[in-house]
Amino acid sequence: MKAIYILWLRQIKRYSRTRSRIIGSLAQPLLFLVALGFGFGPIYQKAGQGNYIEFIAPGVIAMSILFTAIFSGIEIIWDRQFGFLKETLVAPVSRVSIMVGRTLGGATIAFIQGTIVLTLSFLVGFRIENLYLLPVAFVFMFLIALLFAGLGAMIGSLLDDMQGFQLIMNFLVMPIFFLSGAIFPLQGLPKILNIITMFDPMTYGVDALRGTLVHMSHLSLLLDFGVLAVISLAFLSLGTYFFSKIQA
């Protein structure tokens, strides 16, 4: 338990000390909100779909969680390059607690980042439908964070340098984001695209956020929760397995 705590604390400390990183990583979601929100807003309205900001804000919140969580997981590669990983590898702590500590740390950071973006979205006119559902939305935000922090840590355990990073970015993270319904509605999509989106865990996260923040989900919250929880657990287990295979 203590080991999990100190690993978590380390991530939080590192995060809170890199102000430039926090601000930098807020620029992108803000740009999405402003450019897409106001850019596509009029067309979206003409198509009879209502307020696009309302539609896209949950997607952008989920996006910022996705990016932050994956990166914090991938930080294992940095630890490997800067040697710090060895310090944890020779410690008398189970590999599971190392993985859990790291993943919780990354998830917490991503959750905070998501909360900041949620707050920023109010500035561009986003409004929450039902305040009572906000705690439920927070639960889902944390679940999304957990899932992708787990995925990031798993990838971080498999790569041994930053060479593969661009590959991961373009072939994994971007598709996860774009094929999740974060920026367009999933109704009426071509069949094949529809099937692909159903295999994207992010779809369930975005849906749950839309459901809890603006009543616009089209899957059930229970299904969303189930899928996110099961996949988080799977990533965490796989991540722990790959992590335990690391030989320095």
Partner 1 sequence: MTEDNIIEITNLVKRFDKVTAVNDISFSVKRGEIFAFLGPNGAGKTTTIKMLTTLLEPTEGKISLNKHDVLTNQSATRSSFGIVFQDPSLDEELTAYENMEFHGVLYDVPKNIRKNRIEELLRFVELWDRKDDYVKTFSGGMKRRLEIARGLLHHPKVFFLDEPTLGLDPQTRNHIWQYIEHLNETEDITVFFTTHYMEEVEHVADRVAIIDHGKIIMQGTVDEIKKKNNAPTLEAAFLHLTGKEMREESAEGMSLMHRRWRKR
Residues in touch with partner 1 (CB under 8 A): 2-3, 5-6, 10, 13-14, 17-18, 82-94, 158, 160, 242, 245-248
What dihedral do alpha carbons 222, 227, 228, 231 form, nearest 10°?
160
Which of residues 51 and 237 has its CB atom nearest to partner 1 in the complex? Answer: 237
Q: Tokens 């990983």 label which residue?
A: 85
| Closer CB to partner 1, 76 or 228, in the complex | 76
Residue (14 or 133) nearer to partner 1, CB: 14
Number of Cβ within 10 Å of residue 237's Cβ equals 14
CB of 85: closest distance to partner 1 in angstroms?
A: 8
- Min dist CB 18 to partner 1, Å, is 8
In this structure, are residues 217 and 130 in contact, taking their beta carbons and an 8 Å threshold?
A: no
CB 76 within 8 A of CB 125: no
CA angle 43, 46, 47 (to 5 degrees): 90
CB of 161 to partner 1, least distance (A): 9
Indicate the residue among 192 and 248 with the shorter CB distance to partner 1: 248
Q: How far is the CB of 231 from partner 1 (least distance, A)?
A: 23
Nearer of residues 62 and 154 to partner 1, judged by Cβ: 154
Residue 14 CB, nearest approach to partner 1 (Å): 5
Of the pair 8, 67, the CB lying nearest partner 1 is at 8
Measure the CA–CA gap between 73 and 48, rounded to whole angstroms.
40
E strand or H helix that includes residue 206? helix 201-214
Residues 6+ apart with CB under 8 A from 207: 181, 217, 218, 219, 224
Query: How far, in Å, CA of 190 to CA of 51, rounded?
Result: 24
How far is it, in rounded angstroms, from Cα 80 to Cα 96?
18
CB of 233 to partner 1, least distance (A): 22
**Residue of 70, 50, 90, 223 lying closest to 144 (CA atoms):** 70
Angle between helices 134-158 and 52-81 (to 10 degrees): 30
Complex with partner 1: residue 62 or 98, whichever CB lies closer: 98
- At its nearest, how many Å lie between partner 1 and the CB of residue 87? 5
